[in-house]
Structure 1
Amino acid sequence: MGACASKPPKPNPYAPRGVADDHAAPPTPLKDDVSSEKKSNSVSSFFPFYTPSPAFFLKKSPAGATPKGNSTPLRFMRRPFPPPSPAKHIRAVLRRRQSKKTAAAAAIPEEEEEVVELDKRFGFSKELRSKLEMGDEVGRGHFGYTCSAKYKKGEFKDQQVAVKVIPKSKMTTAIAIEDVRREVKILQALTGHNNLVKFYEAFEDTDNVYVVMELCEGGELLDRILARGGKYSEEDAKVVLVQILNVVAFCHLQGVVHRDLKPENFLYTTKDESSQLKAIDFGLSDFVRPDERLNDIVGSAYYVAPEVLHRSYGTEADVWSIGVIAYILLCGSRPFWARTESGIFRAVLKADPSFDDGPWPSLSLEAKDFVKRLLNKDPRRRMTAAQALSECLNFSNLIKLTIITIPKVPMVFCFTGHPWIRSYNNVKVPLDISILKLMKAYMRSSFLRKVALKALSKTLTIDELFYLKQQFALLEPNKNGYISLENIKMALMRNATDTMNDSRIPDFLASLNALQYRKMEFEEFCAAALNVHQLEAHDNWEQHARCAYELFEKDGNRAIIINELASELGLGPSIPLHTVLNDWIRHTDGKLSFLGFVKLLHGVSGRTIVKAQ
């Protein structure tokens, strides 16, 4: 979909050159000679359909000039066209299958099916021309274009706005029509957030749908990146990333996944350096509950998450895209690159981003750690947007916490928040929707697993407790320090928009009904909201687990027979219990072994145990 404000359309951009094959290249800038490309308006044969975004081309050095040490040359690019879906190769397979089915069906005489005409009526106002004076085109996207406009009357008289024009002729399927309807619904419900483009109203006529939004005249984030030569300082990158994380965490709380986060889809309201950044283009967005997975492949190739290519993903896919943007801001090049779309996908799935080339060696360890935690290929181990924001408050706030820890656990970087952006103040951390998912898993866990998680929660560091303390406070516990199902419902209502109902997040609370008849204190909340997979991603995970196991040995471990353990895990009688669970129990005293303890922490179920055999 087109951006709500941008530059006038330009000729086709130039494609990168200089990569010998499809495989992933190191995350270095594109550095072949581009002077010959500037003489032609044709697209390079290396990249006929897709232009990388952002693609950084080096300026041609003067003859005989020698590049300086590790300095990063100035980069530039021409404006990219929005890319097609990264599922092009999949669509080709589906078309071949469909053609075979059609040929087979043609061999069998059937009655002609009646062609159903699509209903392209949206119920929007048809008074566009009477209310708005349309201006020039300011941007063009894959599904439409954007014009400037001005209100002629009414509440917003003389207000300059942007109008996204979506031709109905491009809505060739019922799905396409529903996508437009959903985009308007999401924009209408989410508008009001400081970092989200303001929605005014929608119109339609026989030919088009018109979406009226805030006019952002400061240009794209991509333009600012290029103006800086493709590299931000750490402090400037923090300012950008905090705004992106803030709006994305808000969307995720409402049950909305954007699915196309990239520098082109963030606009500045004005050309001022301190201007606010606004997220735009929700044309590929969708609703998703914390326990649901999406399976359609959409987005832009360089920013697409590995789990999207595996066709099973949720809100974590947006966080991966933020990680790609963070990498680009800090070093001026893409973490994954190849000359073809399929090559990019292979790099995303198999390659690791490089942190060895300049300027990474000169950047802080915290900055590198921050990007690595966003670009973790396992979505379960990836930070959430709210977690990344959780330490934006001043570090001095930590002294107010009551620490629950033991001396054997060393002080390390947090697993659920990040110190790199801790110095960025005045950020209100939103409720993390992933907390509800973890609490649901905890409430459905066996008694033995709950005891194991409580033991692990007692080994948490200051940073981890800081994040959990924030989230617990957002649930507004009663004066005795407890929360119940009512607290969670009220917290959601305080943060809810209409999209929360569309994503059916309130229905998700049914899985927490056990809290209706009991209360949860902070210590148990820490166990319930603990993300074991994120802890496991850290180098010191085994030491953490060993310390937790020592506590478990003292407080919760007891002799247990295999049949009892099988009952705890929900294993049926048809499963060979001794073969599956033999290494879970110590033969000396019949208690849970360390291996069994760790598997229990991960929430291993009967289904996953059988699958692993």
Structure 2
Amino acid sequence: MGIHESIKGKSYQRNTHSDQSSSSLNSQQLKNSPAKEEAIVSRGIANQAYYVLGHETANVHHLYEFGHELQQERSTYLCTEITTGIEYACKSISKGKLTSEVDVEDLRREIQIMYHLEGHHKNIVTIKGAYEDPLYVHIVMELCSGGALIDRIFQRGHYTEGKAAELAKIIVEVVEACHSLGVMLRNLKPENFLLLDKYDDSSLKAVDFGCSVFFKPGQVFTDMAPDACDRRISAYYVAPEVLRRHYGPESDIWAAGVILYILLSGVPPFWAKTEQETFDGVLKGDIDLKSSPWPSISDSAKDLIRKMLCSQPSERLTAQEVLCHPWICPNGVAPVRALDPAVLSRLKRFSEMKKLKKMALRVIAESLPEEELAGLREIFKAMDTDNRGEITFDKLKAGLQRYGFILRNSEILRLMEAVDVDDTGTINYGKFTAATIPLNKLERRELLIAAFQYFDKDGNGYITIDDLQQACAEHNMTDVLLEDIIREVDQDNDGRIDYREFAALMGKAQKGNGRIGRQIQHSLDLSEDSIWGSWLLTTEMTYTSYS
């Protein structure tokens, strides 16, 4: 019996749960909605608007032109950025469907998690922005037009071991990336993986984080999932400990193991005519590795499946252990050591940065809305075990251990000293977010410009020693050699830092062609005869970026 026959029913519907789909539906619902919305708002709805995001946002219809519907049930549409012509997908959630505070919180958390994972792994869909108007919340994200993994499985029936290993590696890398940032997926399944390119199976992107949650190391969950998620989670991928209502991130490995089983055989390991019978099979835990096609599948592959579908969560492989398994590793060679947890790698990166860049990241972090920092706040709270609002040496050491990494005291001390820029002996939330925000935030020119303006105290277009002295005082930084800070960044040796040098420091090379120059000038509201306007409009230069 193939996957067409075995995977049916309400708990497993093709193309109904992912955020995007390659098919185009003939719908004009949202395409025509801006005018409709404006008419409704004009009747007074705007006065009743509440903000899921907690703050007002730009009007999405001023930034994007909406096209045809990509995915009907989740209301996902093609949209084109007006200024660049780049196509994205936009999931538009009607506020009328948010009937309780729980619904609002679930949507808010989904957006927070997407921002938290932004740029962390190439196989996780990238959020472009979240917007809100009186009637809808809009999530604009990377467009995946290659279709869903589940459709590819239906078409193929099953994969070769080599191709299945490639896909399993991608899926488990996504799980590992999420776990390293304290995110449990809870709804891992082929429908929630879309392809950027329909001709390239490796272009997978994980989408739909509506059932995902933040977790702390050792935290145990006792709920199945929010009600909306209960309707979307498929019985075939639910781990036995979830059914027993005592589970953690290990349940994602189980789901990944189920996907691997399907990739190799074309059918799920546990399925029956009814959902309850499927659950009974999951709890029983008997895995068929004997009937066709399993006799022709390698022992190494079957060993990995057994270890991923181990009924005892404590004995199940972790994501990193799966990635080190000989069947997954290229040429059968496992990496010498595990990758650094995401937070640790970011702390190490921050410790190597120049002082001005550290200060600038603090300024940028403080300017970001809460939904973009919520994930880092959860990690900070997990380390700040006594809720004093600060991380000490002992807390950092224990926190890193809980996230799976053990360092020598001297290494932890170096990290503390690097992040503790004002020498208080502790790391508060502001310093923590500055050290751990993803650097892809620096690709947003408006953030770089705002940070530069913060340091350019007199607004003359340059950061001088006097400017730095005032900024350091605001950051409670003493005993700082201001001349050294200038010298580290000042590429033309004129004793001051201009915007191009600042952008190069931040790792964002700037080409001062006319179009970009005018954009920056407009952002700064500068006149053409100003110091900034003159060189931004005429300079054709790319500075080498450095830390």
Query: Is TM > 0.5 for Structure 1 vs Structure 2?
Result: yes
1:326 maps to 2:260: yes
1:50 maps to 2:37: no
| Shift in CA distance, 80/186, structure 1 to aligned 2, threshold 3 Å | closer
1:160 maps to 2:87: yes
3-state DSSP of counterpart to 2:327: helix
Task: Summarize the alignment of residues 594-613 of structure 1 with structure 2, pairs less than 5 Å apart.
Answer: none
**Paired position in structure 1 for 2:347:** 493
Give the whole-Å Cα distance in 1 for the aligned partners of 2:238 and 2:108: 24
Query: Residue 339 of structure 1 is aligned with which of 273, 294, 307?
Result: 273
Query: Residue 130 of structure 1 is aligned with which of 49, 56, 62?
Result: 62
Query: Residue 470 of structure 1 is aligned with which of 332, 337, 340?
Result: 337
* Aligned-pair CA distance for 1:126: 4.1
Amino acid of the residue matched to residue 349 of structure 1?
Answer: L
Task: Summarize the alignment of residues 240-259 of structure 1 with structure 2, pairs less than 5 Å apart.
Answer: 240-259=167-186
Query: Residue 147 of structure 1 is aligned with which of 74, 77, 83?
Result: 77
* Aligned-pair CA distance for 1:189: 2.0
For residues 69-93 of structure 1, give each alpha carbon's deviation from its aligned partner in whole angstroms, at most 9, with x where no partner exists.
xxxxxxxxxx35449xxxxxxxxxx
* Aligned-pair CA distance for 1:489: 7.7
1:303 maps to 2:210: no
Query: Residue 303 of structure 2 is aligned with which of 369, 375, 381?
Result: 369
Return the structure number with greater helix share: 2
TM-score by length of 1: 0.51
* Aligned-pair CA distance for 1:513: 4.8
Query: Residue 502 of structure 1 is aligned with which of 378, 384, 390?
Result: 378
| Shift in CA distance, 312/510, structure 1 to aligned 2, threshold 3 Å | farther
Whether the 8 Å contact between 1:195 and 1:277 is mirrored in structure 2 is yes
Give the whole-Å Cα distance in 2 for the aligned partners of 1:168 and 1:515: 39
| Shift in CA distance, 179/520, structure 1 to aligned 2, threshold 3 Å | same
* Aligned-pair CA distance for 1:506: 3.0
Give the whole-Å Cα distance in 2 for the aligned partners of 1:513 and 1:227: 48
Amino acid of the residue matched to residue 284 of structure 2?
Answer: K
* Aligned-pair CA distance for 1:307: 0.8
1:213 maps to 2:141: yes
Task: Summarize the alignment of residues 178-193 of structure 1 with structure 2, pairs less than 5 Å apart.
Answer: 178-192=105-119, 193=121
Give the whole-Å Cα distance in 1 for the aligned partners of 2:319 and 2:154: 25
For residues 266-314 of structure 1, give each alpha carbon's deviation from its aligned partner in whole angstroms, at most 9, with x where no partner exists.
0111122254111000011100011111122133211111111111111
Give the whole-Å Cα distance in 1 for the aligned partners of 2:239 and 2:399: 35
3-state DSSP of counterpart to 2:67: strand
3-state DSSP of counterpart to 1:238: helix
Whether the 8 Å contact between 2:11 and 2:234 is mirrored in structure 1 is no
Whether the 8 Å contact between 2:241 and 2:247 is mirrored in structure 1 is yes
Query: Residue 283 of structure 2 is aligned with which of 337, 341, 349?
Result: 349
| Shift in CA distance, 308/119, structure 1 to aligned 2, threshold 3 Å | farther
Whether the 8 Å contact between 1:118 and 1:174 is mirrored in structure 2 is no
RMSD, aligned α-carbons: 3.4
Give the whole-Å Cα distance in 2 for the aligned partners of 1:184 and 1:30: 33
**Paired position in structure 1 for 2:246:** 312
1:199 maps to 2:75: no
| Shift in CA distance, 367/275, structure 1 to aligned 2, threshold 3 Å | closer
Structure 2 portions without partners, runs of 5+: 19-47, 226-232, 351-371, 386-393, 411-547
Whether the 8 Å contact between 1:52 and 1:80 is mirrored in structure 2 is no
**Paired position in structure 2 for 1:269:** 196
Give the whole-Å Cα distance in 2 for the aligned partners of 1:121 and 1:180: 8
Give the whole-Å Cα distance in 2 for the aligned partners of 1:201 and 1:518: 37
| Shift in CA distance, 514/195, structure 1 to aligned 2, threshold 3 Å | closer
| Shift in CA distance, 331/281, structure 1 to aligned 2, threshold 3 Å | same
**Paired position in structure 1 for 2:504:** none
Amino acid of the residue matched to residue 152 of structure 1?
Answer: I
3-state DSSP of counterpart to 1:224: helix
| Shift in CA distance, 357/118, structure 1 to aligned 2, threshold 3 Å | farther
Amino acid of the residue matched to residue 493 of structure 1?
Answer: L
* Aligned-pair CA distance for 1:249: 0.2
* Aligned-pair CA distance for 1:511: 8.5
| Shift in CA distance, 512/127, structure 1 to aligned 2, threshold 3 Å | same
May I ask how many residue pairs the two structures share in their alignment?
338
For residues 111-166 of structure 1, give each alpha carbon's deviation from its aligned partner in whole angstroms, at most 9, with x where no partner exists.
xxxxxx9955422524111111001111134xx3100010112xxx2010000011
Whether the 8 Å contact between 2:301 and 2:327 is mirrored in structure 1 is yes
Whether the 8 Å contact between 2:308 and 2:316 is mirrored in structure 1 is yes
Query: Residue 232 of structure 1 is aligned with which of 143, 149, 159?
Result: 159
Larger Rg: 1
| Shift in CA distance, 305/518, structure 1 to aligned 2, threshold 3 Å | closer
Query: Residue 322 of structure 2 is aligned with which of 388, 398, 403?
Result: 388
1:289 maps to 2:216: yes
Give the whole-Å Cα distance in 1 for the aligned partners of 2:205 and 2:276: 31
Task: Summarize the alignment of residues 18-97 of structure 1 with structure 2, pairs less than 5 Å apart.
Answer: 28-29=1-2, 50-52=10-12, 79=14, 81-82=16-17
Give the whole-Å Cα distance in 2 for the aligned partners of 1:352 and 1:383: 18
Give the whole-Å Cα distance in 1 for the aligned partners of 2:280 and 2:238: 11
* Aligned-pair CA distance for 1:190: 1.0
3-state DSSP of counterpart to 2:90: strand
| Shift in CA distance, 201/118, structure 1 to aligned 2, threshold 3 Å | closer
Whether the 8 Å contact between 1:255 and 1:500 is mirrored in structure 2 is no
| Shift in CA distance, 518/151, structure 1 to aligned 2, threshold 3 Å | closer
3-state DSSP of counterpart to 1:129: helix
Whether the 8 Å contact between 1:183 and 1:285 is mirrored in structure 2 is yes
3-state DSSP of counterpart to 2:289: coil
Amino acid of the residue matched to residue 29 of structure 1?
Answer: G
| Shift in CA distance, 315/51, structure 1 to aligned 2, threshold 3 Å | closer
Give the whole-Å Cα distance in 1 for the aligned partners of 2:145 and 2:105: 30
TM-score by length of 2: 0.56
3-state DSSP of counterpart to 1:294: coil
* Aligned-pair CA distance for 1:492: 6.1
3-state DSSP of counterpart to 2:123: coil
Give the whole-Å Cα distance in 1 for the aligned partners of 2:65 and 2:195: 23
Give the whole-Å Cα distance in 2 for the aligned partners of 1:322 and 1:216: 21
Q: Using CA pairs under 8 Å that are at least 6 residues apart, name the structure with larger relative contact order, 1 or 2.
A: 1
Amino acid of the residue matched to residue 395 of structure 2?
Answer: A
For residues 544-575 of structure 1, give each alpha carbon's deviation from its aligned partner in whole angstroms, at most 9, with x where no partner exists.
xxxxxxxxxxxxxxxxxxxxxxxxxxxxxxxx
| Shift in CA distance, 140/296, structure 1 to aligned 2, threshold 3 Å | farther
Amino acid of the residue matched to residue 470 of structure 1?
Answer: R
3-state DSSP of counterpart to 2:70: strand
Give the whole-Å Cα distance in 1 for the aligned partners of 2:142 and 2:407: 47
Whether the 8 Å contact between 2:235 and 2:279 is mirrored in structure 1 is yes
Give the whole-Å Cα distance in 1 for the aligned partners of 2:399 and 2:309: 35
Whether the 8 Å contact between 1:118 and 1:173 is mirrored in structure 2 is no
